[in-house]
């Protein structure tokens, strides 16, 4: 199966086009402005003066932002203002890079003596992001300069690391260059980039010492050969970036053993994934922990981990029809990958908790100044000290179209239901509102159309053109026979539903999450008053949909009860009294857009 790139998938009016445009028109500018203010842009202009802020990951931040702009240019958006900024940055890179091709604003300006000597300072990671940005920019603009810069740099890395082995370490501390080198190989056709990617992936577990404070090599994904991996452990972003390179190589090499490792990892990740699609539950080590350990209040669920997982799933889709990956992408698109951006597009979450209790956060600072258990912040901010997530979100939304369509030999494949058009196939849908999708074409050149059946759709119907209901299910997709001209309507029978977690998830026992189609819901104190944990939703009654104009989706009003607080004693032999109430739910991704307020996804039920 082939993925169809975003430039062939034109978004049409609807929920997602609005998000796409918000990213293009608002978020991208906000990130640029913050990056200018914080010195990130100036770092690559090589303007560093003693006392300036210049962190070793700044190059990657800027590269991701460039990559996002490039995708928008390629898709035909007018980005000339940013293009000028980028061209000047590229000129600066060309001018200031070392004569051997080396390019890193941090090492060149701060620690030139330690070039290729410190595995823990994201040097190859930054190189990888520069490569991804350069490929995207080259494809979008045809201006060859940036690509030549990163190819020269890649050639240097190849010589120092793979051929001469004279670097102070063997492989990257934070995976990224592996997947970028594969892309560079795919884009340029230069085999040595494939070899270097393979080298970095397959040598990863050799000659390593645990990174800084870490007890073992799980944190930076060097514990064992990638072929032996079975458990998703350690730093979640490092994990999914490495797995992405593994998936690229498994596909390229037709490497069944590597694919098996990936399948084991997905089976394990499924026991470590929030209902929102978020992964990496612990702030300590920004890491996966153990099966079923999914705390809500301290959920880390980093935005970059969700994005990385979505990109990984995109690679996994190439191995053939398997709705597992589209299902995860959908979860991320509507939940863990959407919650990171405020509704106005200006602010971002790094962590995406499934519960907020402001009192808990207040508690954290009332007594001591240090060593507090880490709780996520309750409101999005414009910039983080470690601001990897905002530009990652920029490029994620800029290539939203990548997630929609694929191509089998006998038909197009619809992975995600986003109003758009691709190669004459029109998709009209308000998927998250009515769960229906209209697909039509006037000149279709395949016998079949493949559509993913969402796992939440228990009642799936196809209507429209003749024979369309005579579909076959393959790997979670419906293979619908279609004529040259067709017009079919998919109805996934959307309805609010309550989701329960395996009782091994201690934080979710006795609780449920409300979902509607792809969207997970949350209750906020802004609607429901304080003490959200005293609420019980009645799952026997159907919540009532209320259109919310702000985001064009439904909120829900559910029947429930509220336990009354005790009058006097802390403990009683009498259960808390209950009174009936209505509980209002909003889409999870929209939480924390009305000031600081408590929030809860997993709510107690009757």
Which residues in this chain contact its own copies in the complex, by CB under 8 A?
213-216, 218-219, 233-234, 270-271, 273, 275, 282, 284-285, 287, 289-290, 292-293, 298, 357, 359-360, 362-363, 365-373, 458, 497-506, 509-510, 513, 531, 533-534, 563-566, 569-576, 604
Rg (CA), the chain: 24
What is the token pair recorded at 215?
């007890």
**Shortest reach from residue 125's CB to its own copies, in Å:** 20
- Helix or strand or coil: residue 82? helix
**Shortest reach from residue 410's CB to its own copies, in Å:** 30
The Cα–Cα gap between 391 and 450 comes to: 33
**Shortest reach from residue 545's CB to its own copies, in Å:** 18
* Residue number, 225 or 533, with CB nearest to its own copies: 533
* Residue number, 473 or 577, with CB nearest to its own copies: 577
Instruction: Centre a 10 Å sphere on the Cβ of residue 595 and count the other Cβ atoms it contains.
Output: 8
* Residue number, 68 or 309, with CB nearest to its own copies: 309
The torsion defined by the Cα of 393, 396, 399 and 400, in degrees rounded to 10, comes to -100
* Residue number, 50 or 369, with CB nearest to its own copies: 369
What is the token pair recorded at 96?
């200031």
The Cα–Cα gap between 37 and 478 comes to: 50
* Residue number, 233 or 402, with CB nearest to its own copies: 233
| Whole-Å CA distances, 1 to 15, 429, 441, 473, 571 | 27, 24, 21, 16, 61
Nearest 5°: phi and psi at 343?
Answer: -65, -25
Beta bridge pairs of residue 397:
none
**Shortest reach from residue 101's CB to its own copies, in Å:** 36
**Shortest reach from residue 414's CB to its own copies, in Å:** 23
What is the token pair recorded at 304?
């970059």
**Shortest reach from residue 190's CB to its own copies, in Å:** 38
**Shortest reach from residue 368's CB to its own copies, in Å:** 5
Nearest 5°: phi and psi at 433?
Answer: -100, -55
Give yes or no for a contact between 410 and 35, defined as CB atoms under 8 angstroms apart: no
The Cα–Cα gap between 192 and 184 comes to: 10
What is the token pair recorded at 590?
């929209």
What is the token pair recorded at 314?
């995109």
End-to-end CA distance of the chain: 45
* Residue number, 26 or 361, with CB nearest to its own copies: 361
- Reference 511, options 541, 542, 537; nearest CA is 537
* DSSP letter string, 226-244: GGG--S--EEHHHHHHHHH
Strand pairing report for 405-408 and 355-356: unpaired
What is the token pair recorded at 186?
């795919």
- List Cβ neighbours of 31 (8 Å cut-off, separation of 6 or more): 65, 390, 391, 394
**Shortest reach from residue 175's CB to its own copies, in Å:** 17
Strand pairing report for 448-452 and 411-414: parallel
* Residue number, 211 or 488, with CB nearest to its own copies: 211
**Shortest reach from residue 574's CB to its own copies, in Å:** 7
* Residue number, 546 or 565, with CB nearest to its own copies: 565
**Shortest reach from residue 210's CB to its own copies, in Å:** 8
* Residue number, 127 or 242, with CB nearest to its own copies: 242
- Reference 300, options 353, 364, 238, 357; nearest CA is 353
* Residue number, 94 or 293, with CB nearest to its own copies: 293
* Residue number, 173 or 401, with CB nearest to its own copies: 173
**Shortest reach from residue 257's CB to its own copies, in Å:** 25
* Residue number, 37 or 564, with CB nearest to its own copies: 564
Label each residue of 141-198 as H, E or C.
Answer: HCCCHHHHHHHHHHHHHHHHHHHCCCCCCCCCCCCCHHHHHHHHHHHHCCHHHHHHHH
**Shortest reach from residue 467's CB to its own copies, in Å:** 31
- Reference 380, options 27, 19, 38; nearest CA is 27
- For 516, what's the count of Cα atoms within 13 Å in the CB-facing half-sphere? 27
* Residue number, 284 or 466, with CB nearest to its own copies: 284
Nearest 5°: phi and psi at 253?
Answer: -90, 0
**Shortest reach from residue 572's CB to its own copies, in Å:** 5
């Amino acid at each position: 199966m082939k993925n169809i790139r975003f430039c062939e998938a034109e978004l049409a009016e609807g929920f997602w086009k609005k998000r796409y445009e918000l990213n293009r028109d608002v978020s991208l500018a906000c990130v640029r402005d913050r990056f200018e203010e914080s010195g990130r842009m100036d770092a690559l202009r090589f303007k560093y003066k003693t006392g300036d802020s210049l962190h070793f990951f700044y190059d990657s931040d800027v590269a991701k932002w460039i990559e996002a702009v490039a995708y928008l240019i390629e898709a035909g958006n007018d980005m000339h203002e940013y293009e000028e900024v980028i061209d000047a940055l590229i000129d600066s890179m060309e001018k200031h890079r070392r004569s051997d091709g080396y390019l890193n604003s941090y090492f060149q300006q701060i620690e030139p003596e330690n070039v290729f000597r410190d595995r823990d300072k994201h040097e190859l990671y930054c190189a990888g992001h520069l490569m991804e940005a350069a490929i995207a920019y080259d494809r979008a603009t045809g201006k060859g300069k940036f690509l030549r810069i990163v190819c020269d740099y890649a050639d240097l890395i190849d010589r120092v690391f793979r051929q001469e082995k004279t670097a102070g370490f063997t492989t990257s501390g934070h995976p990224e260059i592996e997947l970028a080198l594969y892309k560079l190989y795919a884009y340029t056709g230069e085999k040595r980039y494939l070899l270097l990617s393979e080298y970095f992936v397959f040598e990863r577990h050799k000659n390593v010492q645990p990174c800084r404070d870490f007890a073992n090599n799980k944190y930076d994904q060097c514990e064992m050969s990638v072929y032996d991996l079975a458990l998703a452990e350690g730093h979640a972003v490092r994990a999914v970036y490495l797995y992405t390179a593994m998936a690229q190589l498994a596909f390229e090499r037709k490497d069944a053993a590597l694919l098996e490792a990936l399948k084991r990892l997905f089976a394990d990740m499924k026991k470590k994934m929030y209902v929102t699609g978020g992964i990496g539950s612990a702030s300590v080590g920004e890491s996966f922990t153990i099966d079923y350990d999914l705390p809500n209040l301290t959920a880390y669920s980093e935005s970059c981990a969700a994005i990385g997982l979505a990109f990984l799933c995109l690679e996994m889709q190439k191995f053939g029809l398997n709705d597992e990956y589209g299902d995860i992408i959908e979860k991320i698109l509507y939940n863990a990958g959407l919650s990171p951006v405020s509704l106005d597009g200006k602010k971002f979450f790094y962590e995406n908790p499934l519960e907020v209790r402001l009192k808990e956060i207040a508690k954290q600072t009332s007594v001591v100044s240090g060593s507090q258990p880490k709780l996520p912040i309750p409101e999005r901010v414009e910039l983080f000290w470690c601001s990897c997530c905002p530009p990652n979100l920029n490029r994620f939304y800029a290539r939203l179209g990548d997630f929609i369509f694929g191509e089998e030999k006998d038909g197009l494949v619809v992975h995600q239901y986003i109003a758009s058009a691709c190669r004459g196939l029109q998709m009209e849908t308000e998927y998250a509102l009515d769960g229906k999708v209209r697909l039509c074409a006037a000149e279709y050149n395949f016998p079949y159309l493949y559509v993913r059946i969402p796992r939440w759709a228990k009642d799936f119907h196809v209507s429209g053109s003749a024979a369309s209901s005579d579909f076959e299910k393959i790997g979670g997709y419906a293979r619908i026979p279609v004529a040259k001209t067709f017009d079919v309507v998919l109805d996934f029978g959307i309805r609010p539903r309550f989701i329960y977690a395996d009782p091994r998830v201690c934080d979710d026992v006795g609780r449920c999450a409300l979902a509607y189609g792809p969207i997970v819901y949350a209750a906020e104190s802004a609607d429901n008053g304080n003490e959200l944990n005293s609420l019980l939703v009645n799952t026997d009654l159907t919540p009532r949909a209320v259109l919310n104009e702000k985001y064009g989706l439904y909120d829900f009003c559910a029947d429930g009860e509220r336990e009354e607080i005790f009058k006097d004693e802390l403990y009683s032999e009498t259960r808390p009294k209950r009174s009936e109430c209505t509980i209002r739910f909003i889409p999870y991704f929209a939480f924390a857009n009305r000031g600081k307020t408590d929030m809860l996804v997993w709510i107690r039920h009757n």
